[in-house]
Structure 1
Amino acid sequence: MKKTTRRNLLKTKLLIPIIITGAITATLGILTQTPKNNNMKERQTRTTTNTIKLPPPRTDGPISLEQAILRRRSRREYTDTPLQLTQVSQLLWAAQGITEPKVWIGLRSAPSAGGLYPLEIYVAVKKGGVQELEPGIYHYKPREHELELLIKGDFSEQLMTACVEQEWVRDAAINLVFTAVVERTKRRYGERGWQYILQESGHAAQNVYLQAETLGLGCVVIGAFYESEIEKILDLPSGEIPIYVMPVGSLK
């Protein structure tokens, strides 16, 4: 019995270092593992060769942040003056542009719970709305800072109808449509993810408001719309829902 006990003790002493070493190795493996790029994995990609590289955004504006906050208003009256591509570029960068490309999947201009970035932005350009763009529905790609043309045509009238006949939607040079791929956030946070998505859309929209002021443009946030109609116009994939519509135009 004594010999058996000694053998068991010896085996235990030999196994303990092996177990500890294995546990440490596994832990280090977890810590050094590259985070999964959930954002890119779940992105609703659409094959298109029609992409437009946007001009690089400016990081110095004509007015101070304090002045932009002071002037910020919801503006619904626009002229027919077309926007410049540089202005569209600046608005999109303010909403969801990459501000730190070297960190994980790229940090953006608006905060996001868990860095999951559920928001997508579409740009509905009406005929003559932007000097360098043909009318159509475009999708913004933050990492490349590009627009991809998804659907050709002027959808300003259809968007106005979908937004309960609010005429400033029709009159705007462009309409920014914020959507959310809900599962990106809900997969980690469950039902509370809805709250985080709505918070994030507010952050991004306020950035657009402030950027519009620095560019001398007007914009307004619209939450009154028929979701199903917006989904049809944008041809949204399953699981992606509209959150905001933001008309943007030159001020009268």
Structure 2
Amino acid sequence: MRPCLLLALATLCVLPACRKSPLLSADPLPDSSRSLATAASPALPAASAPIALPPADLSGSMTLERALVLRHSVREFEPHPMSPAQLSQLAWAAQGMTDATTARRTSPSAGATYPMEVYFATADGVSHYIPGRHAMQRISTRDVRRSLTTQQAVAEAPCVIVLTTVTERTRKKYGERAERYVAMEAGHIGQNVLLQATAMGLGGVPVGGFDGDKAREVLALDKSEEPLYILAIGKPAAK
């Protein structure tokens, strides 16, 4: 059996556990942690410690223009699991902090309200990304990929990224416009991830065809948090 993500990262720094309500405002520096639901994995402790990720590589060799040219939807993947460094880079591209002083991130957010949460589903379980610490917090030991959607690409991808939204964070500031701003932000994050994957020699496909209620149940989210966007990521299968 392959070691779980926590064991793969065992040599890295273990950070203090963090539990916050998903309704907490994301200003200006959230840990983006949510209250853990033990229903996701009955054997998992209610508060598993976040595990620090390797630093993101800020000196990639592929230009943005080249990544734009090469990016295309990939639906068939090699079965190899993702390394901690690869997971770290994808997480950083999605929501990583770019300025510790202002707490700005790699993707824009209306009023810096940051309603989006990022989850990684692999064969070893589900982990939640904490941008303020550049860390992962495991919330389930179950492989939920096949339960998220009927699409084969999601079931077989080594890494499935689920973007969820706690829209109330943005609604508090912008009212009815929040829905539009949240949709925009999800698109920004998705494109960041797809371009970063391309630059890493990986591929991916965005997925919108899934049952939101089922995905919420699979991830053990509360009603304030809505699954919005799925990305299947991995090394393209040899042709």
- Shorter-normalised TM-score: what interval? 0.7 to 0.9
Q: Offset of 1:156 from its aligned partner?
A: 2.0
Maintained 8 Å contact 1:42/1:184: no
Would you say 1:144 and 2:133 are equivalent positions? yes
Indicate the residue corresponding to 1:62 in structure 2. Answer: 61
Q: Offset of 1:62 from its aligned partner?
A: 2.1
Amino acid at match of 1:138: S
SS at match of 2:230: strand
CA offsets per residue over residues 69-89 of structure 1, 9 Å max, x none?
111111111011221110110
- CA 42–55 in structure 1, closer or farther in 2 if over 3 Å, else same: closer
Maintained 8 Å contact 1:176/1:245: yes
- CA 80–234 in structure 1, closer or farther in 2 if over 3 Å, else same: same
Give the alignment's Cα RMSD to 1 decimal: 1.5
More helix, by proportion = 1
Identity %: 37
- Counterpart of 1:123 (choices 111, 120, 137) is 120
- Which structure's CA Rg is the greater one? 1
Amino acid at match of 1:44: R
Q: Is there any run of 5+ residues in structure 2 with no aligned partner, and where? A: 1-23, 37-45
Maintained 8 Å contact 1:44/1:237: no
- CA 229–151 in structure 1, closer or farther in 2 if over 3 Å, else same: same
Indicate the residue corresponding to 2:11 in structure 1. Answer: none
Indicate the residue corresponding to 1:242 in structure 2. Answer: 227
- Counterpart of 2:25 (choices 31, 38, 55) is 38
**How many residue pairs get matched?**
202
Q: Offset of 1:115 from its aligned partner?
A: 0.5
Maintained 8 Å contact 2:164/2:228: yes
SS at match of 1:177: strand
Distance 2:81 2:225 in 1: 30
Structure 1, 62-71 or 39-48: larger mean CA deviation:
39-48
Q: Is there any run of 5+ residues in structure 1 with no aligned partner, and where? A: 1-36, 127-134
- CA 65–220 in structure 1, closer or farther in 2 if over 3 Å, else same: same
Distance 2:53 2:155 in 1: 24
- Counterpart of 1:113 (choices 110, 113, 131) is 110
Indicate the residue corresponding to 2:214 in structure 1. Answer: 229
Instruction: Give the TM-score normalised by the residue count of structure 2.
Output: 0.81
